[in-house]
Structure 1
Amino acid sequence: MSVSQYADYEDSGFDWLGKVPAHWEVAPLKRYAAVQTGIAKGKDNEGKNTVAVPYLRVANVQDGHLVLHDMATIDVTADAMSRYRLRPGDVLMNEGGDADKLGRGCIWQGEIADCIHQNHVFAVRPQGVSSEWLNWVTSSAGAQFYFLTRSKQSTNLASISSTNIMELPLVVPPIDEQASITAFLDRETAKIDTLIAEQEKLLTLLAEKRQATISHAVTKGLNPDVSMKDSGVEWLGEVPEHWDVNRLKFIASVQTGIAKGKDTADKETIAIPYLRVANVQDGYLALDDVAIIEIEVEQLERYRLAPGDVLMNEGGDFDKLGRGAVWRGEIADCIHQNHVFAVRPHGVSSEWLNLITSSRYAQFYFMSRSKQSTNLASISSTNIMELPVVLPPQSEQRTILAFLKSEIGKLDSLTNRAKRAIGLFNERRSALISAAVTGKIDVRNI
């Protein structure tokens, strides 16, 4: 695809926006749109006539699309209904959330009749500019930079006021150019989105293949002709005849971690690294952000991690329950929180036990023994200790581990390539949007 530039440019007056086509206008968003704030839940309507209506929340407004399968309702008066009703063409924007998704939104097409929005969702109503153009501009990298620099931030969360949104410098080409550019972006981003979707599908297939490869190897072995026997566990099925099946508590101990917030006043303490759930990922450790905790001196020995410990998370999303990795002593004198278990093997290798806990049968066991709420689950150390562990002879364990290291390495390499491709496609998408909505490229004749 070959694109050209406009003939004449002039300074926009904003460093982050740069030069724009000379015949475009740059003005605050408030000149071309009104920002309607939403209604807060919990208002007192006692003694008033109310009606239950659909209530759009932050969770419903994603980046570029709506999620409407889980809509809440709210009781409102007729006046509130009139004041907060969404109209087709409103550009929805979230007031806050993750820093990289601040101001994310999409166009309301009137998907639900008589729907209103909460106070954390803004309805930006265009006046003299198309909804499609406004949506592309507010989702561009420049607008996201503006929102982030004007936002209130805490940790990795941010929020922006309606006042700051109204002051967003809006680039406005003639209406016919708006239509040409939005049509171009609709078409070109759809192509990129298709490529991203294909890579995401590949990631799902690779993850399924990875777990299937591990699960088959650690429960059936590598010899397809080996004699099998009943494992004694209904949901585990048959295992090679010469393998053993032991409960985890007979081949390992489970060390629970320390809870944060203990009173250490008037006690001798030391500051040491503290491993949290966020540090323990599926198959690896994320150690770029390790917290520090003050503990009593004598507690260090009780909670110190030892090389070879298999770390497992007590809870989280269903598909991550019990996820973990082997601790190699990466950080000296490091302890772990109470939501991370340190499983210390004494009758099995750490590598074998780590593969077992990531297999399908172990994940099924954790889920069936867990406490569940909404989309979260947690499991106790007592239930973890009852996990049936399949045990081939040591030499066969080593053979299987070597096989899986090779196979998983190949799958992980493909996974990393797919992730890099998605990153490049997203960068291309963002760059294309920014170039088009700021007039760095002229797409009128494409």
Structure 2
Amino acid sequence: MKDSGVPWIGEIPECWETIRLKFLLEGGLRNGLFKKKDQFGRGTKLVNVSDLYSGDFYINDDTLERVETTPKEVEMFGVHGGDLFFVRSSLKLEGIAIAACAKESEETRVFECHLVGGRPHKNRVNSRFVTYYLHSRTIRDRLISLAQTTTMTTISQDKIGGLPVLVPKLEEQHAIASYLDRKTAAIDSIIEKKQRLLTLLEEKRAALINHAVTKGLNPDVPMKDSGVPWIGEIPEHWRVMKLGYLGQLQNGLNIGGDSFGSGDPFISYGDVYNNAILPSNPVGLVRSSVNDQMKYSLRVGDVLFTRTSETIDDIGIASTCLQEISKVTFAGFLIRFRPLPGNLAPSFSSFLFRNQNIQGYFARNVNLVTRASLSQDILKTLPICLPPLNEQIQIAAHLSKMALAFEQLDRFLVRQVELLKERRQALITAAVTGKIDVRGEEA
């Protein structure tokens, strides 16, 4: 072994080299193609951010969007088999610099402007090996540390290009990639079974919540047609109203990046995305004015929705405020719904707006080009089932007890999956940093 010359990597095998990524690429890194909304839906296949998130190391050509292109754009932004891509801007820190490799394809492809792309020298590096390397824990942590976060997380070409890459001889790169293909496939098979159980558990939980917030708890109550196909019948004494008639909507605070890091509490996109109930002590801070705190305030009963994301599935995720937060403001990537008094119990809202049928409604109606976007106009049209207020409180209490039982089983399965992923990650990291020698491993 010898010193790699990189403190956070440590020792590497004697015959390995340490080379910065930009020197392993033909022509370096480049940003992708920018296109207007009306140019999507036809033409050349387009690799975008969601394609890097939805795959596992490799881009799935079958799900690519299409966009109009010129021959010059295809020449400048064309995708070849083995090309590497990185996410250069993300709403979530953990999403930054996610990497994926393009497979060989007979179809013409280009890549979009939220990505950085590069073409490895085939006589120097194996693309599969480099992709595994970029997904190792050591390298993921390094890339995340190089990112900058304000309202969005970004990383520059220079930071990505300057990343040290450990480079064994080409034959050994092939051996490591093949070894990891086999080993990760075996672990992935077990993970898939555990995740299927989690999916079934979530489907059951979601079905019970949806039934409770649209049918109530009394199976013998007289029913009527709601007038909304995806809701179906509701109790005869309930109402259905569009969200726009039940309260007011407000987009969040847009402010310069230098205002973050100190000041007063700030609710971020992640605070909403990760929590059905808003955290009462958000970690984010922003130097907001008194006017900001009045316009972008939060009260008990307010509901925040995610309004923009890389994927449709992340649009319209809701989080309900159940505790006062002094001087708080919320991010511009969110929309606040403030109910009129007497319409919605806050505890009921935390279940009502977090159910899959409502998110399905958003998925059918949002705009999707390079990013998915939820407007106030779409949110206003959302049909809401309204039981009497006292019945809302009863339903919420019932669902809270049920949720505890589901959470215990969910935590058990999630921990098993986490341990398997840790094992997978440790295996990748050990192989691509030379901590284990796989050259003698048989297929």
Question: Is the pair's TM-score, using the shorter chain for normalization, greater than 0.5?
Answer: yes
Secondary structure in structure 1 of the residue aligned to 2:387: strand
- Aligned partners of 1:61, 1:122: CA distance in 2, in Å? 14
Calculate the aligned-residue CA RMSD, in Å.
Answer: 4.5
Aligned match of 2:318: 324
CA contact (8 A) 2:253 2:330 kept: no
Q: Paired residue for 2:277? A: 284
Q: Is the 8 A contact 2:345 2:393 kept in 1?
A: no
The equivalent of 2:8 in structure 1 is 16
Q: 2:180 pairs with 182, 185, 203, which one?
A: 185
The residue aligned with 1:233 is 227
Find the residue that maps to 2:183 and give its secondary structure.
helix
What amino acid does structure 2 have at the position aligned with 1:230? K
Specify the structure having the higher radius of gyration (Cα). 1
- Spell out the pairing of 1:10-409 with structure 2 (5 A cutoff): 10-22=2-14, 24-28=15-19, 33-37=24-28, 38=30, 41=33, 60-61=51-52, 64-68=57-61, 69-72=64-67, 74-76=69-71, 81=75, 88=81, 90-94=82-86, 96-98=88-90, 100=94, 104-113=98-107, 115=109, 120-144=116-140, 147=143, 153-155=148-150, 156-161=153-158, 164-165=161-162, 168-173=164-169, 175=171, 177-224=172-219, 226-231=220-225, 233-235=227-229, 236-240=231-235, 243-245=237-239, 247=241, 254-257=247-250, 260=253, 273=265, 275=267, 278-281=270-273, 283-286=276-279, 287-296=282-291, 300=294, 305-307=298-300, 309-313=301-305, 315-316=307-308, 323-334=317-328, 339-346=335-342, 349-359=345-355, 372=367, 374=369, 375-380=372-377, 383=380, 387-391=384-388, 394=390, 397=392, 399-409=394-404
5+ unaligned residues in a row in structure 1: which ranges?
Answer: 1-8, 44-51, 263-270
Q: Kindly indicate whether the alpha-carbon contact (under 8 Å) linking 2:77 and 2:110 is maintained by their aligned counterparts in 1.
A: yes
Letter in 2 for 1:93: F
Contact persistence 1:91–1:135 (CA under 8 A): no
Question: 2: distance between equivalents of 1:303 and 1:91?
Answer: 44
Instruction: Give the C-alpha shift of residue 343 in structure 1.
Output: 1.7
2: CA distance, partners of 1:96 / 1:385:
33
Task: Report the CA distance shift for 1:232/1:27 in structure 2 as closer, same or farther (over 3 A).
Answer: closer
Q: TM-score, normalised by structure 1?
A: 0.71
CA distance in 1 between counterparts of 2:252 and 2:77 reads 45
Cα distance between partner residues in 1 of 2:379 and 2:105: 49
Tell me if the contact between 1:25 and 1:172 (Cα under 8 Å) persists in the aligned partners: yes
SS in 1 for 2:65: coil
Aligned length: 406
Q: Any stretches of 5+ residues in structure 2 without a counterpart?
A: 36-42, 256-262
Aligned to 1:427: 422
TM-score by length of 2: 0.72
Aligned letter for 2:386? V
Q: Percent identity?
A: 23
